[in-house]
Structure 1
């Protein structure tokens, strides 16, 4: 019997046991498109579909965790490199940063009906580190 026919029959048998495509591909080295053609007509029971769905959800969670780990590591690397490049922040640097933050996030005096309003120091940002820098600038 032709080896492809044997592989196809084996793939169908595995699918009927609720194997996922990935699991079948580990057993039978064929293209995923070929596998899809072979298994197009195979229907699964509700329990089998649930198993496959559960495996898919688990894989998505693993992938999301891994992506988060990669993002956290990348962020740490970037922050460490930026800290090395920046070095010490001088009083002048802090002054310039504070001015930029105030300009972007602080309140400005505005004139309404001939009177000046907004003379308080206000800062509209929820990032704790930005708030710390702004407060340090105000001192």
Structure 2
């Protein structure tokens, strides 16, 4: 539960956000609290177009409209991270496991989730996590197979294996890549990965940032560059 002091700060933050269109950064500085706390408090309050224009004017002409839009987009990413932090407090086992797996094995960017592995059970579990915890539909998932030279003759078989494992239609398959062995590794690496590796990807800025918020909450740290 929030302390009485935090409750007052929260209500003041919401009032200023709603009535004056203050940015998360402005509210954090004014109230002397962290941006993540402010984002959590005001994440459901969207700025109106008029308030966004006022925010641009408050920037004093030092930045152009595209930069102001970037600031607003950053606020949305911050709000998504705050929502993730709140989600972490529920203590859901599948959710926690999926987020930790993404932290350990996922490829991180601002707006795209990518997960690559050679273990069918692990890739299937990660997709189960996205489907169950974030209602990610099949149409939003893309699959790319990364093959080695010894897979080339059975490329269709490998692709079908991953699609079957993930219960996805072939429409979600993207062009496979084939890695050629160097002359130094041909005898050593052949047949080590019978189905190569599989990459699943979902483009969704809010989802990515939500996961970043969860990871930071579980890990007890803040990573500013994940908002960049």
Using the size of structure 1 for normalisation, the TM-score is 0.38
Using the size of structure 2 for normalisation, the TM-score is 0.24
Higher strand share: 2
Higher helix share: 1
